Amino acid sequence: MAGKTLYDKLWDNHLVEQRDDGTAIIYIDRHLIHEVTSPQAFEGLRLAGRQPWRLDANLAVPDHNVPTESEERKGGVAGIVDPISRLQVQTLDDNCDAFNIVEIPINDIRQGIVHVVGPEQGATLPGMTVVCGDSHTSTHGALGALAHGIGTSEVEHVLATQCLIQKKMKNLLIRIDGTLQDGVSAKDVALAVIGTIGTAGGTGYAIEFGGDVIRAMSMEGRMTMCNMSIEAGARMGMVAVDDTTLEYVKGRPYAPTAQQWEQAVATWRELHTDDDAEFDRVVTLRAEDIKPQVTWGTSPEMVLPVDGVIPDPEKIEDAGRAQATRRALEYMGLKPGMAITDIRPDRVFIGSCTNSRIEDLREAAAQIRGRKVAQGIKQVLVVPGSGQVKAQAEAEGLDRVFIEAGMEWREPGCSMCLAMNADKLGPGEHCASTSNRNFEGRQGFGGRTHLVSPAMAAAAAIAGHFTDIRQCAEGQS
Amino acid sequence: MKAFTQLKGLVAPMDRANVDTDLIIPKQFLKSIKRSGFGPNLFDELRYLDEGQPGEDCSKRPLNPDFPLNFDRYQGASVLLARENFGCGSSREHAPWALEDYGFRCIIAPSYADIFFNNCFKNGVLPVVLDAQVVDELFTDMYAQEGYSLEINLQAQTITTPTGKVIGFEVDAFRKNCLLNGLDDIGITLQSADSIRSYQQKLRESSPWLFDVVQ
């Protein structure tokens, strides 16, 4: 019999009941909750007279709506200016109180983006099934967990039953071997993968990321990779457990200690794909081929290396793709043949569940140190992923680097990744953004998003246009 | 949940690939703590010429005259004909809520994003998958004939065109049953409560670090 993939193992470990119709009841170890996709689920519980199945499996934190300006933030929930946002955050507080669910509230130092907070607190651990009413829950797969986003009906289902009804996905291995060039980060690798397989390339699959590059990558980088799985169409992405994983988890507030730690580690060491396991599909990329990436269109698959030029729809044979390219260029206000490095962002956003961890901020700061934001850039927002990331960055003096360059150092939250709070683009504005989606209107009505790595976003803020940071690195040395 | 058995409905087009959930229902409307009322903001950025705000009276907003759902011929449509990878992006169930609230009970497309596809079934909306070529033909026929309607029969798993042509489609047995009977799947899962309890007991013994920590 062939061996098992990491996904097979995680699935089998959580199988409560396999049914004849091909569906299965899968047990959920950790349910993360935020304010946007939970109110209707709690209301559903109330209407049906149900209680949460297991309180200690849940952890809530507000992130999408929270203001990131320190003045507005000082007033806590009551201080949120937008009354509709305030009500949504207040509703999360009320529901957590009413159902006795642990919540990290708005101005707790541990508060932040749910996908940054979970791993940081040790609330997500290797081997867990992790769900949340947010598609970027795939992030947690970096720890060797089976983690994916769910809709609000399933949020209610997990609250009420601690389980989900699932069908098993197919196995897709994305393998990146070799050594990345200097200046190329996890975000570039993720975008290059999406550029290769497309935004629907992973639909129906669970992705495992493997190869030399992933093994050498930090946990922050792995989280960035798994985070972007959903932009490749896969609900879940994951990475095998190794020493890097264990070192990251050890000592986290909710992680096991002493004898339980030893016991857990023994179990977690099994969380890798067996040598003789077979994948339904394998995609390989060579690390040396990956350059810094910049999206030019309105889907993450519309991406090019930084030395590329905007495509010409007249030269695309497939009618559907030509039409999509034409529409994207019109929305983005870009012309075929234009160099990526000639695009001039109006604003820069460094943050989001994709790229707001300490390593991301360090990489951004390294591009900025001692320099100033270019004229013509209206605003640069640097939004740490959690209060703890913020504190760590401040201890390292990164906040000073950003502020002295003329950037805004904000309070943690989702911010301009999806612009549910006050942080947004104006119509027609271009943004160099470290977030995950360049959809029409995503960062504000009529806004034009270019997805990039933290270092590329920072370099664009300094240069006033996209630049090939590999050349900057050479220039400095 | 509303049951879905049969539907004869006017067909409207959403003729582009990779329609994302931000396009289906923009983020500002996700601030609602209710489950209903999203219909007027379905495809908000395509449907109106201005930027929509939550709670606004949409009847006074300027309509985009080039957007098909604003055409007279598509008023009252309940079947949405769409392209590849429909519903990609976020997990927001507000997307099927908005489609359903607008009046769409069935979507026909060559492929869907996984989370969106799953969310539809929880809300009495049937997402039908057909070959890209068949969808293409339906687009052609629909554009050619005003008032183009399709008859969808979930029990028989068929779509009947105005000329009487019958197209079969696949649907997974569990979801079909839930949709046909309007079943609440929490109730179904709770029928297995004993299995869940016994799984949980074993898990507590084998992996005690998963319990009693977050409290």
Name the maximum alpha-carbon separation found in chain A: 66
Name the B residues in 126-145 with CB < 8 Å from any A CB.
Answer: none
User: A331 CB near a chain B CB, below 8 Å?
Assistant: no
Q: What is the rounded end-to-end Cα distance, in angstroms, of chain B?
A: 33
The 10 Å CB-count burial string (b at 16+, else e) for B30-54 is bbbbebeebbbbbbbbbbbeebbee
Taking residues B191-204, what's their average pLDDT?
98
pLDDT value for B1:
86
Q: Could you tell me what percent of chain B has a pLDDT over 70?
A: 100
pLDDT value for A475:
43
How far away is chain B from the Cα of A182, in angstroms, using its nearest Cα?
31
Locus of tokens 């792995």:
A222
Q: Compare all CA atoms of chain B with the CA of A37 and give the residue at the minimum distance.
A: B92
Residue B57 lies in a domain: yes
pLDDT value for A2:
85
| Token pair of B210 as six digits | 């998963």
Q: Give the separation between CA A369 and CA A362, rounded to whole angstroms.
A: 10
State which residues of chain A have pLDDT below 70.
1, 472-477
Residue B192 lies in a domain: no
Strands A293-295 and A303-305, sheet pairing: antiparallel
Residue B193 lies in a domain: no
Give residue-wise pLDDT tens across range B50-105: 999 999 999 999 999 999 999 999 999 999 999 999 999 999 999 999 999 999 99
Name the A residues in 74-103 with CB < 8 Å from any B CB.
Answer: 82, 84-85, 87-88, 91, 102
Residue B60 lies in a domain: yes
Residue B144 lies in a domain: yes
| Selection from B168, B176, B137, B132 nearest residue B152 by Cα | B168
Q: Give the separation between CA B153 and CA A14, rounded to whole angstroms.
A: 36
Residue B212 lies in a domain: no
Residue B56 lies in a domain: yes
pLDDT value for B91:
96
Identify the sign of the CA torsion A164, A8, B118, B55. Answer: positive
The 10 Å CB-count burial string (b at 16+, else e) for B143-154 is eeeeebbbbbeb
Give residue-wise pLDDT tens across range A49-86: 999 999 999 999 999 999 999 999 999 999 999 999 99
A40/B35 Cβ within 8 A: yes
Nearest neighbour of B85 by CB, restricted to A102, A163, A200: A200
Choose the mutation target among A139, A199, A318 for the interface with B, i.e. most B CBs under 10 Å. Answer: A199
Q: Give the separation between CA B135 and CA A173, rounded to whole angstroms.
A: 31
User: A65 CB near a chain B CB, below 8 Å?
Assistant: yes
pLDDT value for B184:
84
Residue B132 lies in a domain: yes
Give residue-wise pLDDT tens across range B152-168: 999 999 999 999 999 99
Give residue-wise pLDDT tens across range B102-120: 999 999 999 999 999 999 9
This prediction has a pTM of 0.97
User: Is A178 exposed, middle or buried (CB count within 10 Å of its CB: 0-12, 13-18, 19+)?
Assistant: middle
| Token pair of A179 as six digits | 């050594």
Average pLDDT of chain B is 97
| Bridge partner list, A17 | A25
Apex CA B113: angle with CA A449 and CA A26, to 5°? 120
Give CA separation, A73 vs A81, A94, A351, in Å.
10, 19, 17
How far away is chain A from the Cα of B1, in angstroms, using its nearest Cα?
11
Q: Report helix, strand or coil for A144.
A: coil
Strands A408-409 and A448-451, sheet pairing: unpaired
User: Which residues of chain B does A324 touch, with a Cβ-Cβ cutoff of 8 Å?
Assistant: 16-18
Q: Give the separation between CA A251 and CA A125, rounded to whole angstroms.
A: 12
Taking residues B35-63, what's their average pLDDT?
96
A-to-B residue pairs, Cβ atoms closer than 8 angstroms: 203
Give the domain CATH number at B159: 3.20.19.10
- Please enumerate in sequence order all residues whose Cβ is within 8 A of that of A215, keeping only pairs 6 or more positions apart, or say none: A242, A244
- Residue B115 belongs to what domain range? 6-183
| Bridge partner list, A379 | A347
How far away is chain B from the Cα of A288, in angstroms, using its nearest Cα?
29
The 10 Å CB-count burial string (b at 16+, else e) for A99-136 is bebbbbbbeeebbbbbbbbbbbbbbbbbbbbbbbbbbb
User: Which residues of chain A does B54 touch, with a Cβ-Cβ cutoff of 8 Å?
Assistant: 84
Q: Give the separation between CA A136 and CA A123, rounded to whole angstroms.
A: 16
pLDDT value for A472:
62
A56/B91 Cβ within 8 A: no
Total domains in the fold of chain B: 1
- For the question of an ipTM over 0.85, the answer is yes
Nearest neighbour of A235 by CB, restricted to B111, B114, B206: B114
DSSP A189-248: HHHHHHHHH-TTTTTTEEEEEESHHHHHS-HHHHHHHHHGGGGGT-SEEE----HHHHHH
Apex CA B92: angle with CA A197 and CA A351, to 5°? 70
User: B51 CB near a chain A CB, below 8 Å?
Assistant: yes
A439/B22 Cβ within 8 A: yes
Q: Give the separation between CA B149 and CA A461, rounded to whole angstroms.
A: 52
pLDDT value for A72:
97
Locus of tokens 């979801």:
B175
User: A208 CB near a chain B CB, below 8 Å?
Assistant: no
